[in-house]
Amino acid sequence: MFLTSNEVNAQQIQPTETDTVTIRIVGSMADSRFVPAEIEIRKGDLLKFIVEEGVHTVTAYHPDNRRPIGIPEEAESFDSDILQKGEVWFYQPNVAGEYNYFCRPHERMGHKGKFIVR
Ligand SMILES: [Cu+2]
């Protein structure tokens, strides 16, 4: 098959184009939130969660965490454990789909987030 030079370039560039995507965690009580609370990323991107205020977790909706599943079935469950102000936690999803997660201390106050891997 004949490829134009543009098509060749696209094929060469795409597989290596990954980013580190930062999600800030702010608030300490009912104002706790992930910023942004919802984001689309690409497979291979690295998610970097940084706690700017309060004490939080980044926890998957998954039976491992005693919740109904809210991430792709083939994806690995995750739970950051307690993160203090200034701490950073990374997750690199390698399965496409929708990932719903929450913060253990503030779930009932609505501290939840979602990322979609394309
Ligand atoms: Cu929280």
Convert the pLDDT of each residue in 15-57 to its tens digit.
567 899 999 999 999 999 999 999 999 999 999 999 999 999 9
Ligand 1 centroid distance, CA of 64 (Å)? 19
d(CA 51, CA 83): 7
Say what the pLDDT of residue 17 is: 76
- Whether the per-residue pLDDT at 12 is higher than 60: the answer is no
- Whether the per-residue pLDDT at 102 is higher than 70: the answer is yes
Contact 38, 100 (CB under 8 A): no
pLDDT digits (tens, 9 = 90+) for 47-76: 999 999 999 999 999 999 999 999 999 999
Ligand 1 centroid distance, CA of 26 (Å)? 8
Neighbours of ion ligand 1 (CB under 5 A): 32, 56, 103, 106, 111
Q: Please state the pTM of the whole predicted model.
A: 0.86
CA angle 83, 92, 101 (to 5 degrees): 55
Q: Which domains does the chain have, with CATH numbers?
A: 18-117 (2.60.40.420)
